[in-house]
């Protein structure tokens, strides 16, 4: 009989899914309007900083940016390695399939390389979920992990639930199983991002982990509440709330970026219109000396007669000369 994780769809969950779907639609449209590479880079850095901070990594966004740029920083080697591994993992993200056990193990190997002797392998001993110094959940025995993960990935592959919900269910179940000796938290968050990004690529660069870090206590509380109820609805509601808040923040940031770009274009256009036609002609012919008068007019959005008058004046002022035959000749911009 196929495995089905214990969860219920509450009215809150349905409302959250509808709101997120509407929000991500608006955000995707805005992202398509412009290539805000600085924004994407900043969000990736926030994502990594937030996810690792939950696990105790103290590096700031500025330090992670420096590592991304190949610069050396003064910091604990272990924390630097965690960041380097996370950066590599996000480079692989688009290549992994979320229902593949092989890809899941590879992802853990990449994330935990040099940090864990059995990176990329399921744990061989007992483990618990910690919140500070408190054990909030004792995971199933190590001998059960391969079967439980096979069942969970099998369910994920065949479920027809919306990705917003199935990703939350997987995240909770993954943390419940706690299949690895270490790195389960960052793996669960990474894999939820993978599931969501294969539904909508925009999620590849939306820093959900950053907000989870800000609400870390509620994150663990949602796990405890779901475990106590044998129903991960509390965790689904928590995660959907976090996703909705993150989308709102990113949307506001994107709108700001777009406004800045729009203002920049407006100023450039004003500067362009203040430059007189003769100066525009000289600047253009410096770069493209083989243009005809008709082509110059087309480039500058002027009439051919206007260009002819301006060119004649430039010749009189010894600022412009034409060499060669009428067809196939070239312009020379003369010095002052």
Question: Considering the domain boundaries, does residue 266 fall inside one?
Answer: no
Question: Considering the domain boundaries, does residue 114 fall inside one?
Answer: yes
Q: pLDDT value at position 305? A: 87
Q: pLDDT value at position 187? A: 93
For the whole model, what pTM was predicted?
0.68
User: What CATH number is associated with residue 293?
Assistant: 1.10.10.10
User: Which residue numbers are catalytic?
Assistant: 178
Residue stretches of the annotated binding site for ATP: 129-137, 182-189, 219-220
In whole angstroms, what is the distance from residue 52 CA to residue 293 CA? 61
Mean of all residue pLDDT scores within the chain: 83
Question: Considering the domain boundaries, does residue 77 fall inside one?
Answer: yes
220 and 282 inside one domain:
no
222 and 176 inside one domain:
yes
User: CA-CA distances (angstroms) from residue 34 to 17, 39, 121, 259, 296?
Assistant: 26, 11, 41, 11, 29
Q: pLDDT value at position 33? A: 46
Mean pLDDT score, 185-214: 84
Question: Where is the domain boundary, 260, 285, 307?
Answer: 260
User: What CATH number is associated with residue 88?
Assistant: 1.10.3290.10
> Would you state the torsion angle of the CA atoms of residues 98, 103, 106, 111, taken in this order, to the nearest 10 degrees?
-10
270 pLDDT exceeds 90?
Answer: no
17 and 59 inside one domain:
yes
132 and 206 inside one domain:
yes
Question: Considering the domain boundaries, does residue 4 fall inside one?
Answer: no
Question: Where is the domain boundary, 260, 287, 305?
Answer: 260
Parent domain of 304:
275-333
255 and 327 inside one domain:
no
Question: Considering the domain boundaries, does residue 2 fall inside one?
Answer: no
254 and 281 inside one domain:
no
- Which residue's structure tokens are 């949307």? 251
In whole angstroms, what is the distance from residue 242 CA to residue 196 CA? 14
Q: pLDDT value at position 150? A: 96
Question: Considering the domain boundaries, does residue 213 fall inside one?
Answer: yes
Into how many domains does the chain fold? 2
| Nearest residue to 140 via CA among 173, 163, 107, 113 | 173
Residue stretches of the annotated binding site: 129-137, 182-189, 219-220
List pLDDT tens digits, range 103-147. Answer: 999 999 999 999 999 999 999 998 876 666 777 668 899 999 999
174 and 131 inside one domain:
yes
| Nearest residue to 195 via CA among 239, 226, 225 | 239
154 and 236 inside one domain:
yes
151 pLDDT exceeds 90?
Answer: yes
Q: Which residue has the higher pLDDT, 269 or 43?
A: 43
157 and 296 inside one domain:
no
230 and 296 inside one domain:
no
175 and 286 inside one domain:
no
Question: Considering the domain boundaries, does residue 86 fall inside one?
Answer: yes
Strands (E) across 205-274 are located at: none
Question: Where is the domain boundary, 230, 260, 290?
Answer: 260
- Which residue's structure tokens are 């509390």? 234
Question: Considering the domain boundaries, does residue 37 fall inside one?
Answer: yes
217 and 322 inside one domain:
no
List pLDDT tens digits, range 54-113. Answer: 888 888 888 988 888 888 889 899 999 999 998 899 888 889 999 999 999 999 999 999
């Amino acid at each position: 009989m196929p495995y089905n994780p214990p969860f219920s769809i509450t009215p809150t969950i349905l409302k959250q899914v509808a709101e997120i779907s509407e929000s991500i639609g608006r955000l995707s449209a805005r992202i398509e309007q412009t290539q805000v590479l600085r924004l994407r880079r900043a969000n990736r850095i926030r994502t990594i900083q937030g996810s690792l901070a939950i696990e105790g990594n103290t590096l700031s966004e500025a330090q992670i940016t420096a590592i991304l740029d190949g610069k050396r920083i003064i910091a604990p080697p272990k924390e630097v390695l965690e960041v380097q591994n996370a950066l590599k993992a996000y480079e692989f993200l688009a290549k992994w399939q979320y229902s593949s056990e092989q890809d899941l193990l590879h992802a853990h190997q990449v994330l935990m390389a040099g940090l864990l002797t059995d990176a990329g392998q399921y744990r061989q001993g007992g483990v618990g979920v910690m919140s500070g110094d408190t054990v909030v959940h004792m995971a199933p025995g190590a001998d059960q992990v391969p079967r439980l993960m096979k069942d969970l990935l099998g369910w994920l592959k065949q479920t027809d639930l919306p990705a917003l919900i199935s990703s939350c269910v997987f995240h909770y179940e993954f943390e419940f199983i706690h299949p690895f000796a270490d790195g389960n938290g960052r793996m669960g968050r990474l894999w939820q991002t993978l599931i969501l990004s294969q539904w909508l690529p925009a999620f590849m660069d939306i820093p959900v982990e950053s907000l989870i870090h800000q609400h870390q206590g509620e994150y663990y509380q949602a796990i405890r509440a779901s475990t106590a109820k044998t129903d991960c609805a509390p965790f689904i509601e928590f995660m959907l709330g976090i996703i909705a808040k993150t989308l709102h923040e990113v949307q506001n940031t994107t709108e700001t970026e777009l406004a800045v770009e729009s203002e920049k274009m407006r100023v450039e256009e004003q500067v362009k219109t203040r430059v007189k036609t003769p100066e525009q002609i000289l600047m253009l012919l410096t770069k493209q000396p083989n243009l005809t008068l008709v082509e110059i007019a087309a480039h500058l959005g002027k009439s051919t007669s206007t260009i002819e008058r301006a060119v004649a004046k430039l010749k009189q002022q010894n600022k412009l000369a034409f060499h060669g035959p009428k067809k196939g000749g070239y312009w020379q911009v003369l010095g002052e």
